[in-house]
Amino acid sequence: MPSTNIYYQYREPSPLRAIWVLMNNNPFAVAALYVFGFFLLIMLLSPFIVPHNPDYQYADAVLQAPSWQQDGQIRFLFGTDDLGRDLLSRIIAGSVYSLGYPILAVFIAAVVGSSIGAWAGMSRGVQSSTLNHLLDVILSIPSLLLALVIIAIVGPSLFNVMIAITLVLIPQFIHSVHNAIYEERYKEYVTASRLNGCSRWYMLTRVIAPNTTTVIVMQVTIALSTAILDIAALGFLGLGVQSPAPEWGSMLARSLDQVYLSPWTMVLPGIALFLTILAINVLGDSIRAAIQERVRSS
Amino acid sequence: MVIQRFWLVLGCCCLVAACGQAAEQPEPLRHGLVYCAEGNPESFNPQLGTSGTTIDATSAQLYDRLIDYDAERQQFEPALALSWQALDDGKRYRFELRQDVQFHRTKWFAPSRPFSATDVLFSFNRWLQPDHPYHHVGGGSYPFFNSSGLIHLIERVEAIDSYTVDIHLAQADSSFLANVATDFAVILSAEYGDQLLQAGTPEEIDRQPIGTGPFRFVEFRKDIGIRYYRHENYWRKPPGIRQLFYTITPNANKRMLKLLTGECDVIPYPLVDKLAELSTDTEIEVQSAVNPNIAYWAFNTERPPFDQPLVRQALAHAINRPAIIQTIYDGNARLATGVLPETSWAFSEEDQTYPFDPERARALLAEAGYADGFSMSIWAMPVQRAYNPNAERMAELIQSDLARIGVRATMVTYEWNTFRRRLANGEHDSVLIGWVADNADPDNFFRPILSCAAKASGNNRANWCDPEFDQLLIDAISATNRDQRVNLYQEIERAVTSAVPIVPIANSLRFQAQRANVEGVELPPYGGLSFRRARIVQDNEKAEQQP
Amino acid sequence: MIRYSLRRVVLFLFTLWLLTVFLFALNYFFPGDPLTNMTGIADSSSTAYATAMEQRYFAGSLLEQYGGFVHHLVQGEWGRSLVTERPVFSDGLTALGASLELSLLAMMVAFIVGAPLGIYAAIQQRGLLDRIIMGISLSAYSIPVFWLAQLCILLFAVKLGWAPISSQINPLYDIPTMSGAILIDISISDYEYKQAALRDALYHLWLPVTVLAIMPLTMLMRITRNAMLDVLAHNYIRAARARGLSEARILLRHSIPNSMQPVVRQLGLQFSMLMSNLIVTEVIFNWPGVGSWLVKAIYERDYPVLQAGLLMLATLILFVNVAVELFHAWRYPQVRKELYAEH
């Protein structure tokens, strides 16, 4: 694109923006973004768009097949479950538990984890290296296992699951932010600004942080897919969100009792879970690819 | 090397997958039977428990009783006792014992003598005498003998000679023989007891059991299964199968699928709503048997606010029981009209229950001072029972019914044995549970679950103790005229209705499904399952049968 | 190498020590009596409780208690289960055997199938197959394992009848449990129907192994492809081509061995992820391994078992990670230089 400026002035796009541009060229990434946006919208609007009360039991329509099957009714688009509750409404309402709460957990973990990571990244010497080794170790233990232990201590409930997942995600953020800052802090531009006499705070927030945003964004996508999977897995094991909350994992678990004759009760929540995670993973993958591309081209 | 091995494995997998089962089954499979049980037994001694799971896994397989009850002909049959007679106006019973009955010979015990009067004394005194060396082994609580009153009824057991035993009673009691014939009154080996006592490991008697039953115990792995082998020297005709395996499969749907794939030969409590589909499959047969049972919702009357009858009545009005029958039992159950089921001779048509009426429930709650409702827990048992195919679903239904009158209910469930232990401790607000009668006497529906004695033994899930009610029960059991008893039991029903320690929900049939080539697995109306007459019809036999 | 190995081993031991501290602390975090949580002796008035109290220095300071705890831990006295009252350690070992069998087989399948597919995708770069393989791998990676396992059971076991629904072997084969790993148990037993039992065990094994292998398989495929693409872009490959080496020779002698380096490095991480799926898979397939043992213990509040399950899984994961790192450093010396340079 020819520059319309009289003076030649090329403004380097911010890392985030550069990646956005690169991702826009990838149709899969765009599709994933739309899917994710769709689920996000559903989640935010869920109280207003559910066709039925997700907890209301229609005693006359127990295990009703989805509307596209022969014996389905249009009243229940996705059919009903074994207590006669509308499955579509439950999936929509469940997005709050299976998508909304993971987002919240990731947000808290990101804020806490990044702050600790930044502090550790700026500090030097023994404390930093010890922390790094320790984190390596903690991260090699699967998050689900750690969450299970926390649940075993505090008992299963929505609040406790949130605590468990948030606690489990924090080390991941500490680790990635710490590493990102560690990598940046000996680069020349940082040294230059240090020689300029910038304060440590200024260095962190204005000099280094902008160059670590992409790493954090990528970590957010990884953490989000982990959080969704773990909350669903805990729900599946009966150790997560308790009934009658329409969490997708626990919906899958309870569908096992009638899966042979009413497969939709298992297939539909599973598809919702699968599509959400797939969208997030494709996004994360595209961001990673875009970062690599950017590094290569710069 | 590793890689080669891998391809070998993979190849085998494909081969196996492609061929399915080999044409000729190896011997263990042809002469073995897999029963997919719904849970782990608490122990291997039925004296210690009341759970149907424990009874099914132990009583009829490992042990024998002095006498058996034949429900079909409605009479007692000789088992380890050849004959019996009532003496001293029914205050003393004399049992002539069978000779040459062998105990199991296993890796951990080699019997040196056959069954004799010593074993009867040992088995009865274990729960009768608090100073018996084995009385406190395994917890020292014998819920059945406590709640049925047998502990107080029997004064002492006396061996006249090696094969004659006298049982002295405190007073004449018409239910004595019925109680001795239940699955709980099993005969253990005194010699084994002595051996363990000497070895200093008495608790093994309930873990590595020795009995005279048709099968001997081999091993138990929790959550995996129990293995039994045929007792070759069984005093009756030894069973037709050489090996019996109980696979622990708590999930009802998985049990049904495993029956379809042939991984289980027999399953208990198939899902009612799938029964129709199962029955059309020619490889699968579904049996049903009348089962004298009642599913109920019990309130822990010791905990506020459930100590107020008004609150209990409100909750009884709040739940939609017909919807429960439709959704949980798929219509395969009868809406309970009282505690006694239709099959009992003391049953009457009069409806003793509260109709579904949320308005009235709310009014009653307001009257009791809980206009804004309260929070409570509903304990739902984690296993299927004949009376309740899915307590957790039932709890969810009730949860939403209660929400309508402003009561916030949470569902609580634990593994079955933990669940029962905590229930006995009274940690619950309310619980969905039930009762299966051990004998045909209507007394068995009240005394074991609602009397003060049952409260003491931890079997009274409502923790409800009313001396007047207990007196009614005693009047009813000591009355001799049947009409008089029927009237007394009606009065008892009305007493339960007005106090509502429990809300009766349903009476249902007991179902069992099996592969078509399994024969002789009977469902007795009283007591546990027996594999004594089970056999597997071989393919070649079938061919012969068809001309 | 020695210095590096020592460092890794010391770090490993240090982590194990932290783990024991954590486990010790757990006994206090869990509801109930710490000594009961540790030993599984529920009756605090029994003589066994008093003996345990003395042996574990429960009258003394926390430090002494911790000493007693570690002492018993090392000796394999992990207490008894609160539910079954059986010794936890011996039960745990057989559970570990069953888990190891499943996870190692799955890892093997993942590596043996995933790596070649990744290499193939890299050679076909940007071709149709490459895109298909990558697309499938991303979707397979996103399927929740508990859903996948159920779908597989429904399809292969119930509809097609190619596999049984659960458990290790038809229980009528009376194989004594020694190691817990069913193939090993059958091999070392003197069972009459060994061949039939082995066939039956494989028939039971293939579905859980496949379900478990899918996630690491797809990950390894992606990693191999990317590593291979990196290697192929290097100058030495171009140089080899210029010298007129055949494509097959370049592939076998140069590109594949070099591309395996990042793959090997990832094996530890993949194993960790596999373990998290293992927990769920074992529960679904009724596999008598550590995962289902641990989950059952959580349901039943069986704290001695819970700790043991946690300790076993965590130690196994840490051990595999260290082993992979040591192997990686030994096999690819160039990495060591990086590691030294970093500090």
CA distance A187 to B487: 96
For residue B504, the surrounding DSSP H or E stretch is strand B502-508
CB C52 within 8 A of CB C35: yes
Cα–Cα distance, C324 to C164 (Å, whole number): 34
pLDDT of residue B248: 92
Q: Which residues contact A45 (CB under 8 A, 6 or more apart)?
A: none
Size of interface B-C (CB pairs under 8 A): 98
Chain A, nearest residue to C23 by Cα: A149
Q: Which residues of A touch C30 (CB under 8 A)?
A: 152-153
Of C153, C172, C174, the CB nearest to B34: C172
- The pLDDT value recorded for residue B278 is 65
Residue of B nearest to C196 (CA): B26
CB contact under 8 A, B273 and A258: yes
Share of chain A above pLDDT 70, in %: 93
Smallest Cα distance from B419 to chain C, Å = 9
Angle at C230 between CA C225 and CA C236, to 5 degrees: 130
| Window 518-537 of B, Cβ < 8 Å to C | none
Residues 394-433 of chain B with CB under 8 A from chain C are 414-415, 417-418
- Residue pair C56/C35 in contact (Cβ under 8 Å)? The answer is yes
Q: Per-residue pLDDT tens for B319-329?
A: 999 988 888 88
Task: Decide if C228 contacts C259 (C-beta within 8 A).
Answer: yes
How many angstroms separate the CA atoms of B483 and B487, rounded?
6
Interchain proximity C298–A151, CB inside 8 Å: yes
Which of A129, A133, A145 is the best substitution to test chain C (most C C-beta atoms within 10 A)?
A: A145
Chain B CB contacts of A55 under 8 Å are: 400, 403
Q: How many residue contacts between A and C have a Cβ separation below 8 Å? A: 103
Condensed to tens digits (0 to 9), the pLDDT of residues C69-111 reads 999 999 988 988 988 888 999 999 999 999 999 999 999 999 9
- pTM of the model as a whole: 0.87
Cis, bond preceding A244 (omega within 30 deg of 0): yes
Q: Is the pLDDT of residue B546 over 50?
A: no
> Any chain B CB within 8 A of the CB of C206?
yes
The mean pLDDT value for C135-147 works out to: 87
CB contact under 8 Å between A140 and C295, yes or no, is no
Q: Alpha helices, DSSP H only, in B238-333?
A: 252-261, 275-280, 309-318, 321-328
Query: Which chain B residues are Cβ-neighbours of C167 within 8 angstroms?
Result: 224, 247, 263
The answer to whether the Cβ–Cβ distance between A82 and B252 falls below 8 Å is no
Mean pLDDT across chain B, nearest whole number?
85
The residue among C25, C291, B419 whose CA lies nearest residue A150 is: C25
Residue C295 has pLDDT above 80, yes or no: yes
Q: pLDDT tens digits for B207-258?
A: 999 999 999 999 998 889 999 999 999 999 999 899 999 999 888 888 888 8
| Chain A: touching chains (3 or more CB pairs < 8 Å) | B, C
Which of chain B's residues have a Cβ under 8 Å away from the Cβ of C162?
A: 17, 20
Strands annotated E in B38-105: 67-70, 75-78, 81-87, 92-97
Element (H, E) at B167: strand B164-169
ipTM over 0.90: no
How far is the alpha carbon of C29 from chain A, nearest alpha carbon, in Å? 6
**Could you read off the pLDDT tens digit of each residue along chain A, which spans 298 residues?**
455 556 666 667 777 777 788 778 888 889 999 999 999 999 999 999 999 988 888 878 888 888 888 888 888 889 888 888 899 999 999 999 999 999 999 999 999 999 988 888 877 665 666 777 777 777 888 889 989 999 988 888 889 999 999 999 999 899 888 888 888 877 888 888 888 888 888 888 888 888 888 888 889 999 999 999 999 999 999 888 887 889 999 999 888 877 877 888 889 999 999 999 999 999 888 888 888 777 776 6
Instruction: Give the burial class of B5: count Cβ atoms within 10 A of its Cβ; 0-12 exposed, 13-18 middle, 19 or more buried.
Output: exposed
pLDDT band at C343 (very low <50, low <70, confident <90, very high): very low
* Chain A contacts in chain B segment 356-395 (CB below 8 A): 390, 392-393
Contacts of B490 (CB under 8 A, 6+ apart): B346, B348, B350
pLDDT at B544 over 60: no
Q: CA nearest B37: which of B243, B221, B266, B239? A: B266
- Report percent pLDDT > 90 for chain B: 35
Q: What is the pLDDT of residue B541?
A: 61
User: Which chain B residues contact residue A256 at CB under 8 A?
Assistant: 251, 253-254
Q: How far apart are CA C123 and CA C126, in angstroms?
A: 9
Beta strands in B13-58 (DSSP E): 32-37
Decide if B410 touches A, using CB distance below 8 A. yes
Tokens of A53: 């009360």
Whether residues C306 and A152 touch (CB distance < 8 A) is answered with yes
Which amino acid is present at C289? G
Give the A window 228-247 contacts with C, CB below 8 Å. Answer: 229, 232-233, 236-239
B382-401 tens-digit pLDDT = 888 888 888 988 999 999 89
**Mutation for B interface: A55, A60, A81, A83, most B CBs within 10 A:** A83
How far apart, in Å, are the Cα atoms of C84 and each of A128, A262, B411, C269, C328?
46, 37, 26, 35, 43
Min Cα separation A141/chain B (Å): 27
> Chains near C, with 3+ CB pairs < 8 A?
A, B
Residue B373 pLDDT exceeds 80:
yes
Residue B16 has pLDDT above 60, yes or no: no
**Residue B531 identity:** F
Query: Which three-class secondary structure string do you get for chain C?
Result: CHHHHHHHHHHHHHHHHHHHHHHHHHHHHCCCCHHHHHHCCCCCCCHHHHHHHHHCCCCCCHHHHHHHHHHHHHCCCCCECCCCCCEHHHHHHHHHHHHHHHHHHHHHHHHHHHHHHHHHHHHCCCCHHHHHHHHHHHHHHHCCHHHHHHHHHHHHHHHCCCCCCCCCCCCCCCCCCCCCCHHHHHHHCCCCCHHHHHHHHHHHHHHHHHHHHHHHHHHHHHHHHHHHHHHHCCHHHHHHHHCCCCHHHHHHHHHHHHHHHHHHHHHHHHHHHHHHHHHHHHHHCCCCCHHHHHHHHHHHCCHHHHHHHHHHHHHHHHHHHHHHHHHHHHHCHHHHHHHHHHC
Q: Taking CB atoms and an 8 Å limit, are B390 and A257 in contact across chains? A: yes
Task: Report pLDDT for B105.
Answer: 93
Rounded Cα gap, residues B50 and A159, in angstroms: 37
What pLDDT band is residue B547 in, cutting at 50, 70 and 90? very low
CB-CB contact of B337 with B301 (8 Å): no
Write down the pLDDT at residue A5: 59
Q: Please calculate the CA angle A77-A81-A87 and round it to the nearest 5 degrees.
A: 35
Q: What is the pLDDT of residue A89?
A: 94
